[in-house]
Amino acid sequence: MKRIWTSAETHETTDGWQVLLDGKPIKKPSGTALLIPFPALAEAIAAEWRGAGLDGGDIKPDDLPLTRMATTAIDRVAKSYDEIIDQLICYGLNDALCYRAETPASLAALEQAQWQPWLNWAEKTYNIPLNTGFGITPVVQPPDTVEKFSAVLQSFDIYQLTALGVAVPAMGSLVLGLALATGQLDAPTAFEISHVEEKFQVERWGTDELAEERRLNILTDLHLCVGFIALCDQKNSTDIKI
């Protein structure tokens, strides 16, 4: 897609906020107008479109990340709410923080120091105790873990779940995702905690360009998730037709 518009502005309707390109509303892949219940998010999306394609090159979905996430929330997550929750619970049942290294001792100690406090936080905050184990041997969690995670996730709206749907797979941890979504962790700290083992290996053996690019992309995604949640302030919400 090439840039063919000159202006991008927000417009309030009875059903939500639209982003207008030269007076015409942005449309979702389904063909209907993108309606956003948060004015701050609508303005941020408009800013994305104002800056997109100024160099004359092709515009890709990754150039409009907030637009992509808002569309995903409305077109996919809202219509597959329970399925998305089930997918996130799977990460909780196999949370990366629960799988520890036995050796070397320095790595095992580092994981204990960095990861256990957040498992303790999940238990204290949500009454969800999680068992830990070593290596790749499956760790069996308490039988009510699914029910408890489900109750927590059902308290999140479709926009928060959309952000979790990006952050949790990126870190391999639902616990860290919940901490990120509730403001207990910022993006750089969550990234560092989720990459303890990888960072340990890099410091010992070095890295390569592709691995470094992948890590940078993950950190960028985590920043995006934090920003997206902040823009989706429920106090500024309106009912939206899907």
Closest CA to 240 of 157, 151, 156, 152: 157
Q: Name every residue whose Cβ is closer than 8 Å to that of residue 121 and which is 6 or more positions away in sequence.
A: 175, 179, 184
Band of the pLDDT at 149, cuts 50, 70, 90?
very high
Query: Per residue in 194-204, pLDDT tens?
Result: 999 989 988 88
Q: What is the pLDDT of residue 242?
A: 38
189 vs 63, residue with greater confidence? 189
Q: Compute the radius of gyration of the chain from its Cα atoms.
A: 20
Average pLDDT of the residues in 3-9: 91
Q: What is the pLDDT of residue 239?
A: 46
Query: Could you give the domains of the chain?
Result: 8-77 (3.30.2180.10), 81-233 (1.10.3580.10)
Amino acid at 203: E
Band of the pLDDT at 1, cuts 50, 70, 90?
confident
CA atoms within 13 Å, Cβ hemisphere of 89 = 20
Q: What is the pLDDT of residue 54?
A: 81
Q: What is the pLDDT of residue 60?
A: 87
Q: What is the mean pLDDT of the chain?
A: 92
Q: Name every residue whose Cβ is closer than 8 Å to that of residue 49 and which is 6 or more positions away in sequence.
A: 5, 8, 19, 21, 26, 64, 67
Single pTM value for the model: 0.92
Query: Per residue in 13-71, pLDDT tens?
Result: 999 999 999 999 999 888 899 999 999 999 999 999 998 878 878 888 888 999 999 99
Rounded to the nearest 10 degrees, what angle do helices 158-171 and 209-231 cross at?
160
End-to-end CA distance of the chain: 25
| 240 pLDDT more than 50 | no
Distance CA 176, CA 184 (A): 9
What does the DSSP assignment read for 159-208?
Answer: HHHHHHHHHHHHHT-HHHHHHHHTTSS-HHHHHHHHTHHHHHHHHHH---
Distance CA 69, CA 51 (A): 17
Query: Per residue in 156-170, pLDDT tens?
Result: 999 999 999 999 999
Query: Per residue in 225-239, pLDDT tens?
Result: 999 999 997 654 444
Q: What is the pLDDT of residue 209?
A: 84
Average pLDDT of the residues in 84-89: 98
Query: Per residue in 92-146, pLDDT tens?
Result: 999 999 999 999 999 999 999 999 999 999 999 999 999 999 988 899 999 999 9
| DSSP annotation of 20 | E
